[in-house]
Amino acid sequence: MAQQTKTHHLRRASGKALGVLVNLAAIATVVLAGIFLLPGLAGYERYVITGASMSGTFERGSLAFAEAVPVEDLAVGDIITYLPPPDSGIAELVTHRIVDVDSSGEEPTFQTRGDANSSADPWIFGLDDPTQARVEATIPGLGWVFLALADREIRMLIIGIPAGIVGVLSLIEVVRALRSPTTGTDTAAAAHQLSPATRH
């Protein structure tokens, strides 16, 4: 009897632990899915900060959320993510702060600088599109998760393995639940039902 009680308590404890794991996995999945999907649905673009030129404002590995705004709305102090002009020698997106806007010509031109840099970027550029991505918010460190999830093998490790573990634990709990009608109680009930017949 004591052994059955101990086993029962162990099963209850493992069931509670499994419930906590499943809930945490569900919450993490919802949060991650929200971070992936909701900004896009709200019209925000996402960028991973891979350089250190904005250190002090946001660090490498931050995830930046940028809103497309009309070019004419851009002002000194705004942080934008853009592709520098071809003669700059830079072929990847840059996220820097606007330090000068020249509106004297037909189209405005801009100059930017990384907050951690001692001087402004050596190029002056215009923007061809009517809208431009302006950084509105950043989340430290989350960019590394996005970069990792872009790799299929790492994505399987980060998502697939925990999901598999939760699935196996859930299956074990289902099997335990199916076997849980305590055989001791059922046997005793059957013996009570049969005993009058055996007396005849």
Over residues 33-79, the pLDDT tens digits come to: 666 666 666 678 999 999 999 999 999 999 999 999 999 999 999 99
Closest by Cα among 90, 72, 49, 91 to 129: 72
Residues counted in the chain: 200
What percentage of the chain has pLDDT greater than the value 70?
64
Q: At what angle do helices 2-41 and 161-179 cross, to 10 degrees?
A: 140
Over residues 81-126, the pLDDT tens digits come to: 999 999 999 999 999 999 999 999 889 999 999 999 999 999 999 9
**CB-CB contact of 120 with 99 (8 Å):** yes
Q: Counting Cβ atoms within 10 Å, is residue 58 exposed (0-12), middle (13-18) or buried (19+)?
A: buried
Q: Which residues, other chains included, contact 118 with Cβ-Cβ below 8 Å and sequence gap of 6+?
A: none
User: 44-140 has which fold?
Assistant: Umud Fragment, subunit A (2.10.109)
pLDDT > 90? residue 2: no
pLDDT > 80? residue 137: yes
pLDDT at res. 176: 75
**CB-CB contact of 44 with 60 (8 Å):** no
Where along the chain do its domains lie? Answer: 44-140
More confident site: 24 or 112: 112
For residue 133, the surrounding DSSP H or E stretch is strand 131-139
CA dist list (Å): 100 to 47, 79, 87, 109, 112? 23, 12, 19, 8, 7
